[in-house]
Amino acid sequence: MGRRLGVMGGTFDPIHYGHLVTAEEALEQFELEGVLFVPTGRPWMKEHEVVSPPEDRYLMTVIATASNPLFSVSRIEVDRDGPTYTVETLRSLKNELDADLFFVTGADAILEMLQWKEPEELFELAHFIAATRPGYDIAGFEVPAHARDAVSVMNIPALAISSTDIRSRVQAGGPIRYLVPEGVKSYIEKAGLYR
């Protein structure tokens, strides 16, 4: 059996406790040896949205994961020009790391991925772990036959936290303490993000 490595992709604008709990649960439930966080460059699905600079999102991810020896952060997408594609990232990671990859997502992200045109290659590159997420009904959803062996549903303590909500709170001057790690909160203030 090869090494079992988790990959947690995300925009992380900003990273919050929903992401961290999801990664920690995957580590434990799927006996992974570590989780690699991969902040996106320019996510193609969010092309019409304003996304913070990749470097800020990368640094917040480093700050949030620094205290966990089993978490690390990759610059692979941040350093790549043009839109980000998960297939390409998984292909490079697979070549580079020679490990069995477990791509960790929330319910919303897996539901979206299953609608992509050719998810078959995706499913060959990694096993997919779909975490339950408040507001997205994963229980009532059928994994299509072709993807059944490639996707596992993972129950986690429900955290109704989203980056979208955190950004609006910052803009409105509302509280974000206890939704994000203290260091991320400080970084947001220092860099003047989401005002």
Roughly what angle, to the nearest 10 degrees, separates helices 54-65 and 182-191? 160
Nearer to ligand ATP, 39 or 99 (CB): 39
Nearer to ligand ATP, 11 or 65 (CB): 11
CA distance 100 to 107: 21
CA distance 176 to 184: 10
Which residue is it, tokens 């969010």?
46
Of 5, 6, 13, 119, the one binding ligand ATP (CB under 6 A) is: 13
- Closest contact distance (angstroms) between CB of 13 and ligand ATP is 6
Of 5, 7, 11, 193, the one binding ligand ATP (CB under 6 A) is: 11
Tell whether omega for the bond before 43 is within 30 degrees of 0, i.e. cis.
no
**Count of chain residues binding ligand ATP (CB under 6 A):** 18
Burial class (CB in 10 A: 0-12, 13-18, 19+), 60: buried
Residue window 113-152: x/- pattern of binding to ligand ATP, with contact defined by CB under 6 A: ------------------x-x-------------------
Positions touching ligand ATP (CB under 6 A) are 10-13, 18-19, 22, 105-106, 108-109, 131, 133, 159, 161-164
